[in-house]
Structure 1
Amino acid sequence: MHDNDFLPQRGNFRKLIAFQKSECIYDITVLFARKFLQKGDRTVDQMIQAARSGKQNIAEGCSASTTSRETEIKLLNVAKASLQELLLDYEDYLRINNYVQWSKDNPRLIKLRILCSQHNDSAYYRAIFEKCNQEMVCNLAITLIHQTDVFLRKFIERAKDDFLKNGGIREQMTKARIAYRNSGTSKLDK
């Protein structure tokens, strides 16, 4: 990073795998709630809001990253926490309704993990949704949440490393200002 580049443009959240997967999770959750939960059940709103919070906080955190690594890290953590809340809702649904949460060595889960690692487009999941029963949808959502959690952990670690290397916006602005004064010239003077 050059001294005068203290505001590198960031925030292209749509290209992030974590965002793409969170959008898939949101769409699946909305469809799941509409099809398998009863209207008026508070769980409907809670699940949809947790899925929305996961997605929206990734977008907001990335957009804020240009001027605040602290805000970025906090919002990515909120996204992570929201998705963990949603994970519990899916696990609860399986348990309470006597469905099976597939174990790590279950051949269906192994195939599902591979499928989820290859598809980050929510249109793909919307297209296959109608072919899935409750158990499959829950296990699909759980798999996507786990995968997204891994990407969010890595993303948060990178943001922390970047902060340690480059400091926050105030440090970068001060460094850029000192470099500008020491150079004795201005881009405007040229």
Structure 2
Amino acid sequence: MEEKKKNTEGFIPTHGGYRKLITYQKAEIIYDGTVYFTKRFFQKYDRTIDQMVQAARSGKQNIAEASMASATSKETEIKLTNVARASLEELLIDYEDFLRTNKLPKWDKEHRLVARLRELNRIPNGNYETFKKAIEHESPEICANAMIGIIKVANYLLSQQIKQLETAFIKEGGLRERMTKARINQRNKKQ
């Protein structure tokens, strides 16, 4: 209890909690889905497997790392969140390449299954099981397009998250400002 009080009075804000972020939850689905997809649709030693899995992992891990770094560096938090978004964009292109090179259609917004994917993406606390039927469908077209849809949602949410981080930084400042403010407040208490 004393530790919590100390933290609220200090200059290091609460940090972490990334598992509650929708972006992290989506990134975890994307990672698990990519591992499944690459094992299923690529030859064992295809370098694309490593590239896609690494991009998916980078998306997920950078969200977690950004959240943990947020206490002492807003700049690092913003940069790592953007790295996550860039990694997922790279992965999106890999799925689009898969469709194109296998002469499979990429769904547009009007495709009938895109509406179902939107419904699934709105489910609170959605996880791999929420999307499993699409990700593990027998049709590679459905699998790849489902992954594309989830990645697009994650990237949109990451863009929004970056905008919020920017706004918060402008309003609240960074660690140095909080340190200075805490030090001034401590001096004023002694007077």
Answer whether TM exceeds 0.5 for this pair.
yes
Q: What does residue 182 of structure 1 align with?
A: 188
Let me know the Cα RMSD of the aligned residues.
Answer: 1.8
Following superposition, the deviation at residue 123 of structure 1 comes to 3.3
Q: What does residue 89 of structure 1 align with?
A: 94
Q: Is the contact made by 1:87 and 1:142 (CA closer than 8 Å) also made in structure 2?
A: yes
How many angstroms apart in 1 are the aligned matches of 2:119 and 2:180?
47
Q: TM-score, normalised by structure 2?
A: 0.90
Q: Is the contact made by 1:68 and 1:168 (CA closer than 8 Å) also made in structure 2?
A: yes
Percent identity for Structure 1 against Structure 2? 48
Q: Is the contact made by 2:34 and 2:52 (CA closer than 8 Å) also made in structure 1?
A: yes
Q: What does residue 165 of structure 1 align with?
A: 171
Structure number with the bigger relative contact order (C-alpha 8 A, sep ≥ 6) is 1
Q: What does residue 13 of structure 1 align with?
A: 18
Q: Is the contact made by 1:27 and 1:122 (CA closer than 8 Å) also made in structure 2?
A: yes
Following superposition, the deviation at residue 5 of structure 1 comes to 3.9
Q: Does the C-alpha gap of structure 1 residues 146 and 129 become closer, same or farther in structure 2, counting only changes over 3 Å?
A: closer
Following superposition, the deviation at residue 96 of structure 1 comes to 0.6
Q: What does residue 131 of structure 1 align with?
A: 137
Q: Is the contact made by 1:27 and 1:126 (CA closer than 8 Å) also made in structure 2?
A: no
Q: TM-score, normalised by structure 1?
A: 0.91
Q: Can you give the 5+ residue segments of structure 2 that lack an aligned partner in the other structure?
A: 1-6
Give the secondary-structure state (helix, strand or coil) at the position aligned to 2:45.
coil
Following superposition, the deviation at residue 131 of structure 1 comes to 3.1
How many angstroms apart in 1 are the aligned matches of 2:34 and 2:72?
32
Q: Tell me whether 1:100 sits opposite 2:105 in the alignment.
A: yes
Following superposition, the deviation at residue 101 of structure 1 comes to 0.6
How many angstroms apart in 2 are the aligned matches of 1:101 and 1:25?
18
Q: Which moved more, 1:86-95 or 1:157-166?
A: 157-166
Count of aligned pairs: 184
